[in-house]
A and B are shown apart, each in its own frame.
Chain A
Amino acid sequence: MLRFIARRLAGMLAVLFAVSVLTFLIFAVIPDGAPEDRMAGPTASPGEVAAVRREWGFDKPLYVQYARTMTKIFTGDVVSYVDRTNVVEEIGRGAPRTFSLAIGAAILWVAGGIALGLFGAARAGRATDRLITVLALIGVSMPVFWLGALASHYLGFEAGIFPDGGYAEIGRHGLLEWLWHLVLPWSVLAVVLIGVYSRVLRSNLLDALHADYVRTARAKGLSEGAVLRRHALPNALIPIVTLWGLDFGAVLGGGAVLTESVFDLQGVGQYFADSVGRLDVPPVLAVTMLGTFFIVAVNTIVDIAYAALDPRIRL
């Protein structure tokens, strides 16, 4: 078991390294003129520009630049090309917002998905089941940015039921304000995934309900409800848990960027989008690494959990 975990972790590090190199290369190969000009700013003297060039290694080969930039990221010293703010601090500021968004939405979509999936399986084949399926499909087809912009405008801006964007820090504005600002983003992000989860659970449940061991349980006289609760549901939920882990990792790793931008939450995803537009490499690199870390970490945890449950997988 320990060896399995060690191998997984090693793999994780390898992937992180590869991703960082890839991201760096994407921006390194853009002929952008000298980034040191932009870093030093329009009001810098030639001496300052030269100093920046030396410090970041822009006059050295690519691998030196990569090494220097990565060192700066890990020592927390890295600053933006454009306005010299500390990238790690900015990420630290945006992280609670992205976390708030991701965690809240994740809870919402898994709870909603399970509820709807249960309902659909229980009423399989009837009108309500079909309705749920249709709604689920529509939800899956919605672009998050469109739905978000509509919700933010009509429910926020026009109707005033919710604020039309922005994020309220718990420390400064209190729990209620924080919640109120997040209800719409949570809902919008969750709508898309509730559809997916409800359908997966429903189909898993239906499969489980037709399985042999369930038939045995029924034959033994167990009620339908008990069958559902004690046998079908737990088995149907296992793949949901893995799926949820993967999706949560994905949202944390960058899927939140659209929702953040539309609702102006100023989280890490939005920071990324703004930085990319300005060809500001250090934040892009740092956020990508962070996002990848989350995705890979969650994947690894899921893998390890599965291996712990099923020894055959470790081979």
Chain B
Amino acid sequence: MHWTLRGPACALVASIAVGLAACGEREQNNSGEIRAAVTSFPDSLDPALAYTGEALQALWVVYTPLLSYAHAEGVAGTQIVPGLARALPKISADGKTYRLRLRKGLKYSDGRAVKASDFEHSVKRILNLESADTSYFERIVGAGAYLQSGRVRGDISGIETDDRTGAITISLEEPYGSFSNVLAMTFGAVVPGDTPFENQTKRPPPGVGAYKLANVRVNRGFELVKAAGFDVGDMPRARLDTISIEVVKNRGRQTQSVIRNELDYMTDPPAPDQLRSVRDRFAGKRYREFVTNSTYFFFLNHRLQPFSKKAVRQAVNYALDERALVRVFGGLLEPSCNFLPPRLAGYEKIEPCTYGDPDAPPDLGRARQLVKQAGAEGEEVTVYGTEEPEAKGAAEYFADVLSQIGLKGSPRIIPAANYYATIGNRKTRAQAGFANYFQDFARATTFFSIVDGAAIADTNSTNFGNIDDPQIDAALARADRNPRAAAVAKDYAAVDRRLLEEAHLVPYGHRELSVFFSDRIDFDECTAWHPVYNLDYTSLCLK
């Protein structure tokens, strides 16, 4: 059944996936080609590996996993719905077994039939390719043994599939409340059973989705082409014939191209010096801003001076002026006193703010006192950041703040391509730096994964500050077992508060992103913002 979008009210109705007649059906243009631009090529176009926003935004409409997110805006878009599976999984009483069944007659974009055993193969690829979120899948029984055996074609005991009936049964070692969310991530996308165990970015495998990948030129661009045979429940189909995505490194030129209608869509916000003019001229007509579920913060390395001292960490939190950072982001930042973003179960606004009203000037005097008392005056601190204008500005600002409270801050700007590998490497000895986290899925647990002691690693660590708080670790271990996020909301709220009280890091807000389109796109009817994947490509259509 076709699904048409008509405003937020319709989106809510649509997400229930019944009786869409109420929305009415306006004649939509269902063809055409558009050109989009990204600032950097996706880290990978292989669903088992892709992790960056650019990648996921494209892959979501190309590879459908067993479960998926509703194609809706706002909170409705965070709801999990069946993807390739017929229905949501039946979870056993002990929370350790998930039963699903594939829909009948599913075909990949190249025409081949989808088999249940393809899912097990897809999981084997994730485990072998050791991607960023492999750890979620290591919770499956037998995953460890499979990896140990070293035989890529070996069996994972915790996954049982039946190609005849399409049944899939997954057993977990321990109950994990967010496992349905894990199954909805693009990592869990089902690809054919003969897909090699290598990064397939140059020749991505076929998937089941509204679009398919074509014309992949690494570092330069790729295309999303309408997948004609796509028909899965009421998942939306492609409305455009081709979306060609090019890498244009210069945001200023992207902005100008969209203004002149030479480019139809840019994924990043407009260049900082054109923000005001774009807002003035196009807000509501071709341009919209959205708050994302993300958190932007400065990490503080607990294993090095001076941030091993709680007093110094608190001093920094006192001294930070969120109004300044809002300006660094050109207004595309929602200041906050919490670590968790507001639209998640477990968010409880911390009032009054632990370290002073974010709308008022910060208490520098108190900060200086704390630094002096801790004996950290004059300590040199390097603040890491990337070359992107917002990150650079934030790092330079933060280094200056440190200098104002008695430390000696100096920024160190490194290219974005190396950044996370550098600050995640213990040998770098990074004392502080710019960091952010966008949700992997819409649960508080994903945000707390980076402050969990278990995430500390020597290389490619995601816990940049080496936060190892037993209270937090214990609370998270308890809460993560429960599949119902609402039930453990209080635990998450407590962890959020503790992060601030112990000043384990310096959070300052949640990022706002934007969509900016050319005149050709039907802005009112055909542009949907998805809370997990940003722009929903399947919603795009021409006037």
Contact = CB atoms under 8 A, between A and B. Distances in A.
Report A-B touching, CB under 8 Å: yes
Interface of A: 33, 37-38, 42-45, 82-83, 85, 157, 164-166, 264, 277-279
A37 B130 contact: no
Given A37-B459, A38-B421, A42-B421, A165 B130 contact: no
Contacts of B3: none
A61 to B, nearest CB: 21
Given A33-B425, A42-B460, A85-B218, A164 B253 contact: yes
Main secondary structure of the interface of A (DSSP, over half): loop
Contacts of A278: 415, 417-418
A165 B250 contact: yes
B417 A82 contact: yes
B145 interface: no
Complex A-B, nearest 9 residue pairs according to Cβ-Cβ distance, in ascending order: A45-B130, A277-B415, A43-B131, A42-B460, A278-B417, A278-B415, A33-B427, A264-B250, A43-B49
Contact of B130 (A44, A85, A279): A44
B35 to A, nearest CB: 14
B281 interface: no
A164 B255 CA distance: 12
A43 B250 contact: no
The residue among B49, B130, B420 with the most chain A CB atoms within 10 A of its own CB is: B130
B31 interface: no
A157 B256 contact: yes
Contact of B132 (A33, A38, A43, A264): A43
Contacts of A37: 421, 425, 459
Contact of B253 (A38, A44, A264): A264
A42 B132 contact: yes
Interface string B385-429: 001000000000000000000000000000101101100110110
B131 A38 contact: no
Contact of A166 (B49, B253, B421): B253
Contacts of B252: 157, 164
Interface string B345-375: 0000000000000000000000000000000
B383 to A, nearest CB: 19
B418 to A, nearest CB: 6
B150 to A, nearest CB: 9
A180 B459 CA distance: 48
Given A85-B218, A85-B219, A278-B415, A42 B253 contact: no
Interface string B454-475: 0000011000000000000000
Nearest to B426: A33
Contacts of A38: 418, 421
B424 to A, nearest CB: 8
B428 A33 contact: yes
A33 B422 CA distance: 9
The residue among B41, B49, B387, B421 with the most chain A CB atoms within 10 A of its own CB is: B421
A279 B417 CA distance: 10
Nearest to B127: A45
B418 A43 contact: no
Interface in B43-79: 44, 49, 51
Contacts of A43: 44, 49, 51, 129-132
Contacts of A166: 253
Contacts of B420: 42
A277 B131 CA distance: 25
Nearest to A274: B415
B39 interface: no
Given A42-B460, A264-B249, A164 B128 contact: no
Nearest to B255: A157
A44 B134 CA distance: 11
Contacts of B219: 83, 85
Contacts of B128: 45
B363 to A, nearest CB: 38
A3 B253 CA distance: 54
Contacts of B131: 43
A45 B49 CA distance: 12
Contacts of B415: 277-278
16 contacts: A33-B428, A37-B421, A37-B425, A38-B421, A42-B460, A43-B44, A43-B49, A43-B130, A43-B131, A43-B132, A45-B128, A83-B41, A164-B252, A164-B253, A166-B253, A264-B250
A43 B425 CA distance: 14
A278 B387 CA distance: 11
A309 B44 CA distance: 58
